[in-house]
Amino acid sequence: MTARALHRLSPFNAVSLALGVAFLYLPIVILVIYSFNASRLVTVWGGWSLRWYSEFFHDRAMIEAAWMSFRVAAVSASIATLLGTLAAVALSRGARFKGRTLFSGMLYAPLVMPEVITGLSLLLLFVAVNAERGFWTVTIAHTTLTLCFVAVVVQSRLGALDRSLEEAAMDLGCDPLRAFLAVTLPLIAPAIAAGWMLAFTLSLDDLVIASFTTGPGSATLPIRIYSEVRLGVKPEINAICTLVIALIAAVIVVASLASKWSRAAGESAAPL
């Protein structure tokens, strides 16, 4: 046994890797295939058809819920990206400041906090201040959760950044704000974009927190899907889920293209 073989991929490693990936993807592939099934019985294959997609586009309540989810996701992701980026900058560049421990604790805890607790506590706050529950309460709740994810994504990028670039900019006469806008911000832009997209998909996905914080008449898409799924499998739900997956896939493709593009731009700018 040579030392080299110790850190090569053994057959066992390769098989466990392949099985792991198959386990993650197979159910989704099956779901997508069955969404094109012509048969009403979900498990009987009746040939390819777009029937369930047209059913969805005629389902007013579903469309309204999808639109609500889309708006909540877009608005909350934007606020969360702004606040999360500010938080990341403060944590990675702010050195020591008062309340730092509490601040980072408040940012990391929601990442793992059971959603029932977050949802219930926000609802009790909204009831206590007599806020009308609907679009804005769900948006605030989602912003609170997702800004923490944005902060982590941006903070890890800021941590990996070469700080001498910022220092060089300031030695050349930039004040800190200009140095940040001219040097740091373009370099962390891909992470900020990735943070926005992560926030968007997390909001689009959330059932529990939205259930607690929404009001009557403003259900989000996951809330409607959930109430249908409880009653059993319906082919229309397969079609809706496939559309959501397609949207998320598009977001991911855009995100990876954007990061590739910005990396290329960074490389071509380097010789200047």
d(CA 191, CA 125): 32
The Cβ-side half-sphere exposure at 157, using a 13 Å CA radius, reads: 22
Report the site for other proteins in 37-76 (rule: CB under 8 A): 41-43
Minimum distance between the CB of residue 5 and other proteins, rounded to whole angstroms? 8
Q: Which is nearer to other proteins, 23 or 271 (CB)?
A: 23
Could you tell me how many residues of this chain bind other proteins (CB under 8 A)? 107
d(CA 268, CA 44): 55
Figure out which of the listed residues 138, 212, 218, 219 binds other proteins, where binding follows CB under 8 A.
Answer: 212
Minimum distance between the CB of residue 58 and other proteins, rounded to whole angstroms? 21
d(CA 253, CA 108): 28
How would you class 90 by CB atoms within 10 Å of its CB: exposed for 0-12, middle for 13-18, buried for 19 or more? middle
DSSP line for 167-204: HHHHHTT--HHHHIIIIIHHHHHHHHHHHHHHHHHHHH
Stretch of 54-62, 165-173, 185-193, 262-270 lying at the interface with other proteins (CB under 8 A): 165-173
d(CA 190, CA 188): 6
Does residue 115 contact residue 206 with C-beta atoms inside 8 Å? yes
Report the site for other proteins in 227-246 (rule: CB under 8 A): 229-230, 232-233, 237-238, 241, 244-245
Figure out which of the listed residues 25, 57, 67, 261 binds other proteins, where binding follows CB under 8 A.
Answer: 25
Minimum distance between the CB of residue 119 and other proteins, rounded to whole angstroms? 9
Minimum distance between the CB of residue 272 and other proteins, rounded to whole angstroms? 22
H or E stretch at 272: none
d(CA 87, CA 38): 50
d(CA 222, CA 236): 14
90 forms part of the interface with other proteins (CB under 8 A): yes
170 forms part of the interface with other proteins (CB under 8 A): yes
Minimum distance between the CB of residue 25 and other proteins, rounded to whole angstroms? 7
Figure out which of the listed residues 21, 165, 254, 257 binds other proteins, where binding follows CB under 8 A.
Answer: 21
177 forms part of the interface with other proteins (CB under 8 A): yes
| Torsion sign, CA atoms 224, 230, 236, 238 | positive
By rule CB under 8 A, what string of x and - marks binding of each residue 118-157 to other proteins?
x-xxx-xx-xx-----------xx-xx--x---xx--xx-
Minimum distance between the CB of residue 11 and other proteins, rounded to whole angstroms? 10
95 forms part of the interface with other proteins (CB under 8 A): yes
Figure out which of the listed residues 50, 160, 257, 265 binds other proteins, where binding follows CB under 8 A.
Answer: 160
Q: Which is nearer to other proteins, 8 or 60 (CB)?
A: 8
End-to-end Cα separation, the chain, in angstroms: 50
Does residue 99 contact residue 189 with C-beta atoms inside 8 Å? no
Minimum distance between the CB of residue 265 and other proteins, rounded to whole angstroms? 19
